[in-house]
Amino acid sequence: MQKWYIYLCLMLFTRQRLLAQDDRYAAGYMNAVSNHAALFSGNRQQPFTLHTLNHRYFKDEDFVSGRLCYGDVFYPEVWLRWDLYRDELMVLSPVNYIIVLKSEHVDFAEIHGYRIFYLHPDGLRGCPPAGNYILLHSGNHLLIEKITNELNQKDNNSSEYYFILSKRFFLQKDGVYHKIKNRRTLLKALETHRKELKHFIRDNRFEYKRDAETMALEVVKEHEKLSRQ
């Protein structure tokens, strides 16, 4: 009887010590995350088991310092990464947990000199599907870019895979979204000043296949400039 009593006391003492350690760890974690706690309450990143020849992230597979507005709260410096294959924005916690942000709470994120935002379909004609987009221009016209990474197998007998990057552009003008696929669709969306814009493209030696992002942005800005004259 005395042995069982001693054993029970030891179990209770050990449990109390473990609970106290858990409390200390929890307190230490909350102290580390400070007022960023809302960022680190999401799900941790799920593992990706396939071997790929290139990475699936925007610009860099490492986390980079950026700015974030999340749930109407602005964070001037956080460590961010954008998974283009899963279309997930992630934040690195102070204890190196990789947390996937809830997309619908992302007001904007700024990394690599770009502003990323979550598009909620607004019901306008031609509106692209919900997801994370790059905001290229937000003047009289809205120009946004969708970047994705598609997974492909090297060959049928290979266990190696690779990602193919693709970019799509959407121009919101006069309450309608236009999908920009090439030079022709860009000029068609900007019907007025077409002649001037053709000269602008030629003078700047823009080629859509080579520099679609720069060309689309500069042509839209030039159209707005001409429209104000």
Closest of 138, 132, 123, 222 to residue 173, by C-alpha: 138
Q: Taking 50 as the threshold, does the pLDDT of residue 28 lie above it?
A: no
Tokens of 58: 């925007």
Closest of 170, 66, 70 to residue 125, by C-alpha: 170
Longest dimension (CA), the chain: 99
- Sign (positive/negative) of CA torsion 195, 197, 198, 200? positive
| pLDDT tens track for 152-209 | 998 877 788 999 999 999 999 999 999 999 999 999 999 889 999 999 999 999 999 9
Question: Do residues 70 and 101 make contact, with C-beta atoms less than 8 angstroms apart?
Answer: yes
| pLDDT tens track for 91-140 | 998 888 899 999 889 999 999 999 999 999 888 999 999 999 999 999 89
Burial 145-176 (b: 16+ CB within 10 A, else e): bbbbbeeeeeeeeeeeebbeeeeebbbbbeee
